[in-house]
Each structure stands twice: as C-alpha cells, then as structure tokens.
Amino acid sequence: MPEGGIFGGVFMRGGPVADDAAWLRAMLAAESALARALEQAGLASPGAGAAVTAAAARAGDFDLAELGQSSALTGNPVPGLARALTRLVPDPAAKAAVHRGATSQDILDTAAMLLARDAIDAAADSLAGAAAAAARLADAHRASLMIGRTLLQQAVPVTFGVVAAGWLAGLDGALDGLASVRQTRLAVQFGGAAGTLASLGSSGPAVKSLMASELGLADPPLPWHTERLRIIDVAVAMARVTAALSKIARDVTLLAQTEIAEVSEGAPAPASAGSGPRRGGSSAMPNKSNPVAAVAILGCARQAGGLLATLVASAEQEHQRAAGAWHAEWQPFSHLLELAVSAAAWARDLLENLTVDTARMAGNLAAAGGLPMAERVTALLRDSLGGPQAHDLVATAAARAASSGVPLRDVLLATPDVADRLTQAGISAAEIEQALNPAGYLGGSDVFTAAALAAHHAR
C-alpha cells in the first residue's frame, strides 16, 4: 500500500508529514530531548541522554500496532511508548531518564510542534516554488489581454498578468503567515502532571528551557496544556495556505473549461497504447484531459475549514487538563498539516507547468463583440447625457447586441435611434471606436502587477 493509502497520491502529495510514523519519530525526539535536558540539569546519570537518544533513534524497533492497542488502555499512545523506550535502553541507570517529570500531553504536544515545523518547512518550500512561477507568469503576461469576469459573467478587460499577480500576492501572504508562526508560535510543552513540574522540584523550569533548546523550539513562559492558541495558530496558518491556493485552483478550473480554454495544465505525457492511465484521463471518456492538480488542490482546501473549526471548538479545555477536547485535536491537526502540504505541492506543479493560451484569450475577448467595453462607453456619454441616461442608453444597446449577435459598435453606430442620441450628444464615431478598444481600458493593471512583483522580490 502506498504512503497514505489509496488516497495518498492526492492528499499526501507533499509526503506523509503527520502520519503514524511521523508522530512516532516526533514523540521519540521529544523523549530524547527530555533525557538530554535532565542529564544537563544533573537529574540523570552521565550518558543517560545519549543512551535514550540512541534507543529512540531506532524507530523501527517500535511496534505501531502495539502502541495503538496500548492507547486504548491509557487514552493516548505515550504511556505505551515510554514503556517500550525504557525496555530498549540497555543501561539500568539511564532507564530512569525516560519520561521523567513528564506527562503524556507534554510529549504529544511537543511532538505536534515538531510536526508543525516540518510541515511548515515543506509547505513553504512548495509555496516558494509556486510563487516564483506565479511571478514569472505575471511578468510575462503584463500585456496579455483577456476578459475579466465578475459573478461568473463577462465584465471589463484585464490582463492575465494582473490575474497572476493576484495569485502571487496570495501565495506571498500565505508564506508570510507560515514564517510568522514558525518564528513565534512553536514552543516546547513541558509541565508535568498539572503544569507545575512539581516532581522535578526547583529544577523543573530549567529542564523545560533545556528541553526547548535541545529541540530548537521556543521556551514559553509556562506550560500551555489548556491554552490552545498555539495549535490554533498553526492550524490557521495552514488553512490560509489552502485558502490562497483554492483561489488559484478555482480560477484554473474555470479558465480551463472547454468553452473557455484560456489556460490548461501542463500537457500530460502521451500514453502509448496499453501503457496505462495518463494524467488527466477519465475512466470513461478517452477524450478528457482533466485539470488534476487544480482539482486536487480544491479537494484539499474543501476539508481545511471543517478541520480548523474542530480545532477552534476544542480550545475550550477544563482546568489543568482537558477531558476529550485535547484528544479531539490529534486527527484534525494531523490531517490539516498533510492537506496544506499536499495542496502546496500540487500548486507548485500546477503553476510551473501552466499553459497560457493568449490567442484564445484574445479570441474570446473579440468574440464578446465589444460588450466588455460597455462601461467605458457609458463613461464617454456621462458628461453629455448624465449618468442615468447614459447607462440606460448603453444598456439598451448592449441588450440588442447580445440578443442579435451584432457587435456593440454596430448597434451604437448603425441603429438610428441610438446613433441619433450619440450625434445629439456630440459623440463621434472615432470616439466610439476608441472607447471600444480594450487595450485602452486597463486602468492600473500594469501598475498593480508591477507592485505585486516588486513586493514579491523584496521579500
């Protein structure tokens, strides 16, 4: 079975950053760091830290199925893990350093922070590649005209460059969120039974600091067993990643529709007869070339909101240790990390291989018969006719153009009642022709694109 099971290729494209094996490695890293910290604080025998670390390094010696069974007895896998790790430490004196002073939540929460760090790094790497690709698209297509669309209907012209610049801004914003959380919110958890480290006496705070240093995590002012904003902050950062990517993916699916065909995912490698499935292929329709990367991103993103909501709802935790709310975090937290990493990996693939058909964009804009320029024509008439009358005149002309298939220009200049109004308003045919030129109605598109690119490169 592949990593992540039969759905792993879609939802774990960036790797199994929070599967059972990853959790095991992270929990063992936490236990190892604790043992080293205890030794440095003089609370464990010389060499105990190294002995525990060596035993923990052999993750293959731990039986995940056994840990899963033991968690049914204790409510979480840490007690079984601590017992198994203790058995694997050969030095009797060093065995005493395993899990000393800790409670199960210390190990699991610290492991969650380590997994979050790995997931953030993986997602950030993919996002950086996606952002670089979006920047290239924005720069290359600053003058590529296309129809803008609002409420899924044709609106005014835009450039594909400014569209890609919008994607770029979202990617950079997601990267900034990840960096902030990585730098400020990932902290060790070490509080013992009720958050006081009473079993370690006056040495408890020092051990906490040493453990944080060993793991490269922040040393928080106090344990955060039932203050769950760190978990939520990680989750929000990951949900922001999927949100930014869902915008890009949805645009691609819409622009890649057969009837629009302005972009497409990188041409899949041709499959020779009998060579098996090809990317984008359909099980029923041999003609199909589906936007797999975009669809996979959307599949990841659709799940993120619900997972984030579960984590926020789980923040209500009683006294010094929660009964159930903490437990409710484990799976949605893991899944959200994996989905964000997978979506980011898909996005890099999507943007690095996106095919842009500028001829089709120009053709679709031309086929609109000038209707996307109705706003500009209205602006031309506003001073002479007044806002409401100008709007109504152009709306009438646009409706005639749409119903008859006649270009807006011809309706404006060849329909007697409309042409008479234009003449009375002192509007010439040349002015109408100029108003209908989409290249002259792009507003700040190029300025905005340049600004997004400058901000990206300044990062």
Separation between Cα atoms, residue 241 and residue 170, nearest integer Å? 9
Q: State residue 238 phi and psi, 5-degree precision.
A: -70, -40
Catalytic residue flag (residue 384): no
Strands 145-150 and 355-356: unpaired
- The angle formed by the CA atoms of residues 170, 176 and 179, to the nearest 5 degrees, is 145
CA 53 to chain centre: 34
* Active-site residue, selected from the candidate residues 83, 182, 250, 321: 321
Residue 449 belongs to what H/E stretch?
Answer: helix 445-458
Contact indicator for 195, 189 with CB cutoff of 8 Å: no
Catalytic residue flag (residue 32): no
Contact indicator for 49, 96 with CB cutoff of 8 Å: no
Separation between Cα atoms, residue 202 and residue 214, nearest integer Å? 20
First to last CA, the chain: 41
- The angle formed by the CA atoms of residues 279, 295 and 115, to the nearest 5 degrees, is 100
* Active-site residue, selected from the candidate residues 180, 282, 404, 428: 282
Separation between Cα atoms, residue 46 and residue 48, nearest integer Å? 6
- In eight-state DSSP terms, residue 161 is H
Residue 201 has a CB neighbour count (10 Å cut-off) of 9
Contact indicator for 305, 239 with CB cutoff of 8 Å: yes
Q: State residue 295 phi and psi, 5-degree precision.
A: -65, -40
How long, in residues, is the chain? Answer: 459
Separation between Cα atoms, residue 335 and residue 326, nearest integer Å? 15
Q: Where are the alpha helices (DSSP H) in 353-441?
A: 358-367, 374-385, 387-404, 408-414, 416-424, 429-435
Separation between Cα atoms, residue 80 and residue 67, nearest integer Å? 6
Give the residue from 137, 121, 229 showing the smallest Cα distance to 175: 121
- Which amino acid makes up residue 150? T
Contact indicator for 372, 147 with CB cutoff of 8 Å: yes
Q: Which residues are catalytic?
A: 282, 321
